[in-house]
Each structure stands twice: as C-alpha cells, then as structure tokens.
Amino acid sequence: MKSLVFSLASILMAVTSLTVNADGDPVAGESKVAVCAACHGSDGNSAIGSNPKLAGQNERYTLKQLLDVKSGARSIAMMTGLLDNLNEQDLADIAAFYASKEVTVNGANPDLIELGQRIYRGGVEELGVAACSACHSPDGSGVTQAGFPALGGQHAEYILTQMKAFRSGTRNNDGESAPMRIVAERLTDAEIEALASYISGLN
C-alpha cells in the first residue's frame, strides 16, 4: 500500500512540471493545421493507428507536446522541422483548434477488456501502479487544468507504442518525477496491450 501511495504522490507532484499556459484561438488555429492533417486528419481524428488522434485532446497537454517537439525535448522523427517557423501563439492556436474537435471512439478487443479495465480503474497494488483513472479520469477525458491528457478513443497501437517508449526511456518528457516511466516499467507487454485496447474503446 505504501508503494501505491508513493506512486500517486509522485504523479501529483508531476503536475507543475507538466503544465504550461494555454490561451489559444481555435478559429486562428484552423488556418495553421493544414500540414498536420496529412498525419492527424483534418479534424484531428487520424486514420492511421501509429499517428495519435489530437481531436478532443486538452489544449494544455497538446501545447506542451508541441513545445517539447519544437525544443527537442520530445523527439518525433516525422515532425522534425515542421514546427520551426511557428511561435508559441501559433502552437497554442493549433492546440485550441484540436481541443475544440470531438474524438472518434474505437472499439476495444473484447478478450482484453477485463484485464485492461482492471488496471485502468484499479492499478496494480502489489507493484505500486496507481489507477490510470487517477490522472486520466474514469471516462478517459483527462484532467485539463493539470495538463493530464485525454486518452479515451486513442488508437491502441499509439498507446502501446508510447507506453513501451516510456518503459524503455526513449520517451522521457513526463516530468522530473517520471510518472509514466515508473508505471510503464512495472507492466508486462500483455498488460500494456490490454490497457491500450481498453483505452481505445473508452469514452
């Protein structure tokens, strides 16, 4: 129980390092996302499982990721150079545009729902893994003020890839207390797969 409490405390401590000010204009953002549409869809609902859906994502989180990509804090090969000519207001507008859209929801694999739901809603106490719902909300809509991302409806393939990237340390922009890296390193491939599938059907 102590390790689970520690994990929750670590996650909550990450809030300050994950938040950025977001004050974008979705109308202005619409004119700035043309290049984004090729990978993420015209409304942010990408058709390709390896590309994240941005529709419905909270503005604060999207802006942080865009700033991290631009600064090099998060490396995404396909986005290299794409944000170089955009300033922070441009990125905030883009984030606001996607936040104004509604995410489409995929279906979860019925065979994986039980395990995925158990981890998402209850964590894994013996391993000190807190419930995903603590930061991403029971319905997967995230916590906007804290900058914790919405997950519901996201492609299972993308969630799976990102969880494994956190586990390996190739993605490390989750703050100094490393909540996602701590969680991911304690889960097996099967648990991550079930969790990703459950999230894709969550709404």
Residue 16 is predicted with a pLDDT of 42
Q: How confident is the model at residue 21 (pLDDT cuts 50, 70, 90)?
A: low
The stretch 95-106 carries a mean pLDDT of: 97
pTM: predicted TM-score of the whole model, two decimal places: 0.89
Instruction: Please give the CATH architecture assigned to the domain spanning 2-16+105-200.
Output: Orthogonal Bundle (1.10)
If you average pLDDT over every residue of the chain, what do you get?
91
What's the Cα-to-Cα distance from 1 to each of 10, 68, 118, 179, rounded to whole Å? 14, 34, 17, 17
Choose the CATH number for 19-99 among 1.10.287.610, 1.10.15.40, 1.10.760.10, 1.10.287.110: 1.10.760.10
Q: Are 2-16+105-200 and 19-99 the same fold in CATH?
A: yes
Average pLDDT over residues 149-164: 98
Residue extents of the structural domains in the chain: 2-16+105-200, 19-99
Report the distance separating Cα 165 and Cα 180, nearest Å: 10
- Please report how the helices 88-99 and 59-71 are oriented relative to each other, as an axis angle in degrees rounded to 10: 140
Instruction: State the pLDDT at residue 17.
Output: 46
Look at residue 49 and tell me whether its pLDDT is greater than 70.
yes
- Above 70 in pLDDT, residue 14? no
Amino acid at 114: E
- Nearest-CA neighbor of 140 among 168, 124, 121? 121
pLDDT higher than threshold 80 for residue 53: yes
pLDDT tens sequence across 63-76: 999 999 999 999 99
Is the model's pLDDT at 121 over the cut of 60? yes
